A and B are shown apart, each in its own frame.
Chain A
Amino acid sequence: MYQYDAIDQQLVEERVAQFRDQTRRYLNKELSEQEFLPLRLQNGLYVQRYAPMLRIAIPYGMLSSPQLRKLADISCRYDRSYGHFSTRQNLQLNWPKIEDVPDILAELAEVQMHAVQTSGNCIRNTTTDQYAGVISDEIVDPRPYCELIRQWSTFHPEFAFLPRKFKIAVNATESADRAATQVHDIGLHIKKNEAGEIGFKVIVGGGLGRTPMVGVTISEFIPRADLLTYLDAIIRVYNQQGRRDNKYKARIKILVKALGIEEFRKRVDNEWGHLKGKESTVPMSEFDRLAGFFSAPAYDDLTDQPEVLTSKLASSAGFARWFERNTFEHKIPGYRIVTLTLKKAGQAPGDATAEQMQKAADLADQFSFGELRVSHEQNLVLADVRQEQLVDLWEAAKEAGFATPTLGLLTDMICCPGGDFCALANAKSIPIAAQIQETFNDLDYLYDLGNIDLNISGCMNACGHHHVGNIGILGVDKKGEEFYQISIGGASGHDASIGKILGPSFAQEEISGVIQKLMTVYVENRSEEERFIDTYRRVGITPFKEAAYAKAN
């Protein structure tokens, strides 16, 4: 993975010094609350319901084992010994003290980490496929491009005070979009043109929140050398023309929608005309330099399906289940990608205790070249596991609570911290996740239901991506009571779509009952091989709606 040189290191250290001084001035009342706000947000520091929340950047989800150990250690010494992995591949600490944050940032800098631009109206952490670099149908590894974007966006002097936050995600495979790129401000799809040159299809104006939208294509192919000038052009248009009078209408999607993609494209092209070919054009030497950091680890010459694996698959249904759900095909023979799920019943989705973080770091060292990834679905991934070691890893993962064999199933939920922590939330989301986990505890039934994305957000800001869940649950406030609106039919992959609201909202205790009814409609209507989303798309919302609101008789 990327390693800082002296310059990268100096920059994060200078950032720590800058923020230490800002915090000092804030605590001395030299900086007002209002002035400190965007400064602290650009270092990931929120003030939450009970305590501040610090969001630590994990650029495009890549973590080394020493970094994860440092996060575990920080969570013990400055917080309550756990952290929350978010849908943007970051880690959130829920209980730090403001006055400790400069020290936390200084410790992060020791392991080449930071909290730069993890919040605020600026360009946020770039995200990508958690399987980047290890799947066979990838066009090229997206991570060098993510790192290029990280450096370009870090302390970009022109774009630190945009109308609203700005999120970029990168995908590099035709077969899947695991980074939900179509619901980002900019989604980049790596492509090769007919001449074999690498570039990007650029999608703009996607986003969730109050007005969810799937992005639209602004360019079918931007050569990679022009990526940064093109991004500069898009964001320069947005910075000047995006709405600033209403924060709910300030995302780029509203501008794109208001102008129409033709007009927006014209303005971007006009701006780009001035920038294209200029200094920010990326030379081949830089692509080579960055690619060098993501070269393949020292794989051994192995074969698929070693005996130790096949015999265990035959003898242990539990192992076979875990293998089927929680591991994924690797591009190198004899290796497998393993997801360590953070979806154990009784634990908030995406949460990991310090002990689990330590354990995951140990497993990474033992089984996967000391590296991990954080996934958009709030799990951890060991990307390079020898198939002959899968049984050992499974045993160890079970012990640590990482082997719930439900990846991609109904209970592999995306869930925001919700009203238990977040000051913005209308309703709690973690108890809903817990309720669903308790109700759907029969693995055979879950397997029979197959792949279903269930996403929960505690408010309209949609941190839990409820709009693009096959089933989405949104916390709403109804005369001071916590209620939940359910939508169905959302999707976040290449077939991205925004879910439709089923109808009036439900009380907390009704939720899993409603989900059960939806599942029954699915099971009764599905044809062979149809996933929940396929059945929904074929039969429409009506049967689901009727079942959900049918009066008991």
Chain B
Amino acid sequence: MPKLIKNGEIVENIYHWQQGTEEAATTNSIVPAQKWLAEKESIGSVAGIWLEAGDGVEFLQDVDLNQFQVIGINFPAFTDGRGFSYARLLKERLNYQGEIRALGNFIPDQLGYLLRVGFNSFQFNEEVDLEKALKLHKPFSIAYQGDVSDPRPLFMRR
């Protein structure tokens, strides 16, 4: 399995991102969230679910998300920023505590912002030099706005 960045380290990826709907899910699978919600009884235990851009998070509001080890958010293109709001809403609105994984076509230069909205693991689509990507983790040492690690804007900390 390819490696990924998780919590600032390069680690083995133990989960399988299930993209085709025909595949059978296993306990290591990250399955499409809509599909999981529709068929959760038959799907059984999985590692987590993933959101497609356009899904939003509202349809998950009655689900106990903390049953999942991981929730993935797909970036169909790195310029599609919907996932930035989804991650934040998962954390701040739906109180999800587990791993939030960026999937798809995001790029290493987005790591700084992705981390600030709640992502903590990164599974790159293309061949990316993870050592180099890690160096782009924290382009700024401070921020004006609050974020998931500290909700207080700078004016509360200045």
**A residues apposed to B, CB below 8 Å:** 5, 7, 10-11, 14-15, 17-18, 22, 30-31, 35, 38-39, 121, 151-152, 154-162, 228, 236, 239-240, 244, 274, 278-280, 282-283, 285-286, 289
Taking CB atoms and an 8 Å cut-off, the chain B residues in 121-158 that contact chain A are: 132, 139-147, 151-156, 158
Please tell me which one of the listed residues B82, B113, B114, B116 contacts residue A240 in the complex, with CB atoms under 8 A apart. Answer: B82
Contacts of B140 in A (CB 8 A): 11, 14-15, 18, 155
Interface residues on B, range: 35 or more
Contacts of B139 in A (CB 8 A): 14-15, 17-18
Min CB gap B106→A, angstroms: 9
B98: CB under 8 A from chain A? Answer: no
Please tell me which one of the listed residues A39, A158, A162, A282 contacts residue B88 in the complex, with CB atoms under 8 A apart. Answer: A158
29 contacts between A and B (CB under 8 A): A14-B139, A17-B139, A31-B109, A35-B78, A38-B78, A38-B79, A152-B144, A152-B153, A155-B113, A156-B144, A157-B84, A157-B112, A157-B113, A157-B117, A159-B81, A159-B84, A160-B81, A160-B110, A162-B81, A239-B85, A240-B86, A244-B53, A279-B152, A279-B153, A280-B146, A280-B153, A282-B155, A283-B155, A286-B155
Query: Given the complex of chains A and B, what is the CA–CA distance between A338 and B143 in angstroms?
Result: 38
Contact A279–B81 (Cβ < 8 Å): no
Contacts of A162 in B (CB 8 A): 81
> Closest A-chain residue to B87, C-beta based?
A158
Min CB gap B148→A, angstroms: 9
Query: Given the complex of chains A and B, what is the CA–CA distance between A252 and B156 in angstroms?
Result: 30
Contacts of B155 in A (CB 8 A): 151, 282-283, 285-286, 289
B12: CB under 8 A from chain A? Answer: no
Per-position contact with A for B13-31: 1 when CB-CB < 8 Å, else 0?
A: 0000000000000000000
Please tell me which one of the listed residues B79, B88, B141, B147 contacts residue A121 in the complex, with CB atoms under 8 A apart. Answer: B79
Name the residue in A244, A286, A289 with the highest tally of chain B Cβ atoms < 10 Å from its Cβ: A244
Contacts of A236 in B (CB 8 A): 85
Other A-B contacts than A151-B155, A283-B156, 8 sampled, CB-CB below 8 A, are A7-B154, A15-B140, A155-B144, A240-B82, A244-B53, A274-B93, A285-B155, A286-B155
Name the residue in B109, B147, B154 with the highest tally of chain A Cβ atoms < 10 Å from its Cβ: B109
Contacts of B80 in A (CB 8 A): 161, 244
B43: CB under 8 A from chain A? Answer: no
Min CB gap B118→A, angstroms: 9
Min CB gap B117→A, angstroms: 5
> Closest B-chain residue to A121, C-beta based?
B79
Given contacts A7-B158, A14-B139, contact A152 B84 (CB under 8 A): no
B107: CB under 8 A from chain A? Answer: yes
B56: CB under 8 A from chain A? Answer: yes
Contact A155–B143 (Cβ < 8 Å): yes
Contact A239–B142 (Cβ < 8 Å): no
Contacts of B88 in A (CB 8 A): 158
Query: Given the complex of chains A and B, what is the CA–CA distance between A10 and B154 in angstroms?
Result: 14
Contacts of B117 in A (CB 8 A): 157-158
Query: Given the complex of chains A and B, what is the CA–CA distance between A157 and B139 in angstroms?
Result: 12
Contacts of B107 in A (CB 8 A): 35
Question: Which secondary structure dominates chain B's binding surface?
Answer: loop
Contact B144–A161 (Cβ < 8 Å): no
> Closest A-chain residue to B143, C-beta based?
A155
Query: Given the complex of chains A and B, what is the CA–CA distance between A31 and B136 in angstroms?
Result: 13
Contacts of A286 in B (CB 8 A): 155
Contacts of A152 in B (CB 8 A): 144-145, 153
Min CB gap B119→A, angstroms: 10
Contact A161–B79 (Cβ < 8 Å): yes
> Closest A-chain residue to B158, C-beta based?
A7
Contacts of A154 in B (CB 8 A): 144
Contact B152–A151 (Cβ < 8 Å): no
Min CB gap A244→B, angstroms: 6
Please tell me which one of the listed residues B56, B79, B143 contacts residue A157 in the complex, with CB atoms under 8 A apart. Answer: B143
Query: Given the complex of chains A and B, what is the CA–CA distance between A35 and B124 in angstroms?
Result: 14
> Closest B-chain residue to A286, C-beta based?
B155
Per-position contact with A for B94-120: 1 when CB-CB < 8 Å, else 0?
A: 000000000000010110111011000
Query: Given the complex of chains A and B, what is the CA–CA distance between A279 and B107 in angstroms?
Result: 30
Contact B151–A278 (Cβ < 8 Å): yes
Min CB gap A276→B, angstroms: 14
Query: Given the complex of chains A and B, what is the CA–CA distance between A244 and B151 in angstroms?
Result: 29
Contact B142–A7 (Cβ < 8 Å): yes
Query: Given the complex of chains A and B, what is the CA–CA distance between A154 and B78 in angstroms?
Result: 20
> Closest B-chain residue to A279, C-beta based?
B151
Contact A11–B85 (Cβ < 8 Å): no
Query: Given the complex of chains A and B, what is the CA–CA distance between A124 and B140 in angstroms?
Result: 19
Contacts of A161 in B (CB 8 A): 78-81, 84, 110
Min CB gap B49→A, angstroms: 18
Query: Given the complex of chains A and B, what is the CA–CA distance between A5 and B154 in angstroms?
Result: 12
Contact A239–B84 (Cβ < 8 Å): yes
Contacts of B145 in A (CB 8 A): 152, 155-157, 280
Contacts of A274 in B (CB 8 A): 93
Name the residue in B86, B116, B153, B155 with the highest tally of chain A Cβ atoms < 10 Å from its Cβ: B155
Min CB gap A259→B, angstroms: 15
Name the residue in B84, B147, B152, B158 with the highest tally of chain A Cβ atoms < 10 Å from its Cβ: B84
